[in-house]
Amino acid sequence: MLKGAGVSDGIGIGRVLVIEEHSLEYTPKTVTDKKAETERFNDAVKVFCENTEKQADSLRISAGEKEAEIMLGHISIVKDPYLIGEVEKLINDGQCAESAFENICDMFISIFSSTDDELTKQRAADVRDVKTGILKILLGIDDIDISEAPKGTVLAAKELTPSMAAGINKENIVGIITETGGTTSHSAILARVLEIPAVMSIANLSEYIQNGDTVIVDGSSGEVLGSPDNAQLERYTEKQEQLLRERRELENFRGKVTVSADGERYELVCNIGKPEDAAKALEFDGEGVGLFRTEFLFMDKTSLPSEDEQFGEYKKTALMLKGKPLIIRTLDIGGDKEIPYMGLKKEDNPFMGFRAIRYCLKNREIFKTQLRAILRASTFGNISIMFPLITCVEELREGKALIEEIKSELRAEGTEFDENIRVGIMVETASAAVIADILAKESDFFSIGTNDLTGYTMSCDRGNSDVSYLYSVLQPSVLRMIKRIIECARENNIPVGMCGEAAADPMMIPLLISFGLTEFSVSAPSVLKVRKCISGWTKQKADEAAKKVMSLDTRQSVYDYLKTVI
Amino acid sequence: MITKNLTISNPQGFHMRPASVFSAAMGKYPCKVTVNFNGNSYNAKSTLNLIAACMKCGSEIELVCDGENENGAMAEAVQLIESGFGE
């Protein structure tokens, strides 16, 4: 058995197709017709660019825009004026195109690899990919056409390159095993996007695996079984079927309402970060969007997005959702992300600092532009506005007053908007949780952000491994916060949702049902799992579990108890 | 020939995307554009040169534009670097 890193879940059983590393050896020769050699090089670059564009197109369909962009990056490398100039110089010195190009690429590969900067090091892999591509063309070596691989193929290779991934037919490739690439490597991301079970970082893979071998790829455990015996085949086929069964079982919950075992209805919506994600939310059967993060509009820009630009994105998202709820969270940005054009400075304590609603209320023009855009978009769907990081009621009042101001402007202009647009808040600070009774009187809804609420309540940074042991939503203090927030919302008859990771946690779901949560907002792939989980609880059973949990005094005892009931 | 000292302000430094945006922008100008950093000179029209320079957030560089429309090139370069490439 071979052991590597399981980077893409699932079990694949199939026959190995080894993608050979081509021997790119050649005998360097001295050229006399330098003009013809330069032309030969330029032709190869042209062919390379054409091929790469085609690969980018197919990758765009199978894996998405971001993956395609990496291929296009290869084109910008090969068209680099400095690189071309240097190659042409070497050709004019009498080198053949192969060695000229290889020399210059190797120079960059060694420069990039020898830096201590991780991002720059990764670029060496891109240059290597480009070098291989151009040399193959110059040497007339054909690529193995992966797209023709028969059904039930397990690909074995040194690494999964984007150009290989571009040729993968998802119907036929049942597994991927490679020598290099960890969980966060680009190869791993590609395998996950393609939803193919994959094990990577298998040392000396090529020594153990041959073309035509039958192998079992367990992408969850990171194990690869070569030439399995009948018993193993049986066991893994069973495991594979079980996984598929579980997936099918979840499919039974598709298109159904979200309802507990005793008939209580819940809203089950998604968290999204881009307009396109709304389509994904629907694809995974989400009932709307409980959290639309709007930071994307501000992050990849050199200047502030205009009102029209924002309006376009909000409208697009609302239209995609066809009347299903869309909660737009206003800009949640602060000193942990540097955005030069916004004048945000690095702070010693960014999470306690000038961020989110605090920043927006001080930069009213930026805030107003966003709120105007949201209000204008509100006639195209079922939109609500949500303020992040509220800590006192004045912030909510000030935000609402600004919305009223904009509404009268829009009325005066004759611009349409939803007069009854709901304005709610994220409850994610300890302060907001404690004054939830005050906030609930002036807020149209609550959404509990458990990630920040846990961090603020426990006063710990989950990214700091020395203190991250404190970070858990199952801490008695955090559970008391959540219970209080939900109770205050219910007493004031406003809906209360949860948009942190905890909303999809099977241990939390009975507690949330018992406390009285009305809306679960989760990542799109979790929708069916959460719907199934909710369907398994009655109010009475959930109450019993919650009562017991609230009598326990440590995170560990809460965890141990909940383990026994789920 | 004009020169200007600048500080890289985007958090990730001159990685792939800023380097290709910057080199493409400089490629439009006929003049020579050079980045002097850490005792070396880099061709600012070359993505690979810029990546190799390993300029990080806070790195101080000298930018040299020399030739036709050097003022235009400098103005755009300054705008790009000071805006932090929108990161």
Instruction: Provide the CATH number for the domain around residue A455.
Output: 3.20.20.60
A298 touches chain B (CB under 8 A): no
The CA distances from residue A430 to A109, A264, A405, in Å, are 50, 30, 30
Higher pLDDT, A528 or B24: A528
The domain spans of chain B are: 2-86
Q: Is the separation of the CB atoms in A78 and A134 below 8 Å?
A: yes
The answer to whether residues A433 and A548 belong to one domain is yes
Q: Which residues in chain A (245-284) have CB-CB distances under 8 A to chain B?
A: none
A115 touches chain B (CB under 8 A): yes
Q: Is A303 close to B23, i.e. CB distance below 8 A?
A: no
How far A433 CA lies from chain B's nearest CA (Å)?
33
Give the active site residues of A.
Answer: 186, 499
The answer to whether residues A203 and A245 belong to one domain is yes
Tell how strand A267-272 and strand A223-226 pair up.
Answer: unpaired
DSSP 3-state of A171? coil
Tell how strand A153-157 and strand A11-18 pair up.
Answer: parallel
How far A108 CA lies from chain B's nearest CA (Å)?
7
Residues A484 and A87: their CA atoms lie apart, in Å, by: 69
Residue of chain A nearest B84, judged by CA positions: A340
Q: In this structure, what CATH number is given to the domain that contains residue A230?
A: 3.50.30.10
- How high is the ipTM of this complex? 0.83
Q: Return mean pLDDT, chain A.
A: 91
The answer to whether residues A125 and A267 belong to one domain is no
Phi and psi dihedrals of A258, rounded to 5?
-95, 115
Number of domains in chain A: 3
What is the extent of the structural domain holding A264?
A: 256-565
Q: Is the separation of the CB atoms in A197 and A173 below 8 Å?
A: no
* pTM of the predicted model as reported, rounded to 2 decimal places: 0.62
Q: Is the separation of the CB atoms in A23 and A247 below 8 Å?
A: no
pLDDT beyond 80 at A189: no
The answer to whether residues A372 and A334 belong to one domain is yes
- SS3 sequence, A303-326? CCCCHHHHHHHHHHHHHHCCCCEE
Pick the residue of A80, A112, A114, A116 with the most B CBs within 10 A to test the interface with B by mutation: A80
Q: How confident is the model at residue A85 (pLDDT cuts 50, 70, 90)?
A: very high
| Tokens, residue A318 | 């609302």
Write down which residue in A85, A115, A139 finishes a domain: A139
Question: Which among A338, A320, A331 has a CA at the least distance from the CA of A294?
Answer: A331
Residues of A in contact with B56 (CB under 8 A): 117
What topology is assigned to B2-86 in CATH?
Histidine-containing Protein; Chain: A; (3.30.1340)
The answer to whether residues A123 and A218 belong to one domain is no
Q: What does the pLDDT look like over A408-441, one tens digit per residue?
A: 999 999 999 999 999 999 999 999 999 999 999 9
Q: Is A338 close to B13, i.e. CB distance below 8 A?
A: no
Residue of chain A nearest B26, judged by CA positions: A81
Mean predicted confidence (pLDDT) in A543-561: 97
How far B66 CA lies from chain A's nearest CA (Å)?
17
The answer to whether residues A386 and A465 belong to one domain is yes
Judge whether A167 lies within some domain: yes
pLDDT at res. A184: 57
Judge whether A10 lies within some domain: no
Query: Which chain B residues touch A if contact means CB-CB below 8 Å?
Result: 9-13, 15-16, 20, 23-24, 27, 43, 45-49, 51-52, 54, 56-57, 80, 82-87
CB pairs under 8 A between A and B: 74
Which residue in the set B15, B47, B87 is minimally distant from A119, CB to CB? B15
Phi and psi dihedrals of A109, rounded to 5?
-60, -45
pLDDT at res. A183: 64
The answer to whether residues A113 and A178 belong to one domain is no
Q: In this structure, what CATH number is given to the domain that contains residue A44?
A: 1.10.274.10
A109, containing H or E segment: helix A97-113
The answer to whether residues A330 and A422 belong to one domain is yes
Q: Is A302 close to B49, i.e. CB distance below 8 A?
A: no
pLDDT at res. A8: 86
The answer to whether residues A452 and A360 belong to one domain is yes
pLDDT at res. A430: 97
Judge whether A8 lies within some domain: no
Q: Is B48 close to A303, i.e. CB distance below 8 A?
A: no
Which residue in the set B20, B49, B54 is minimally distant from A76, CB to CB? B20
The answer to whether residues A368 and A475 belong to one domain is yes
The CA distances from residue A83 to A45, A128, B15, B44, in Å, are 12, 14, 17, 12
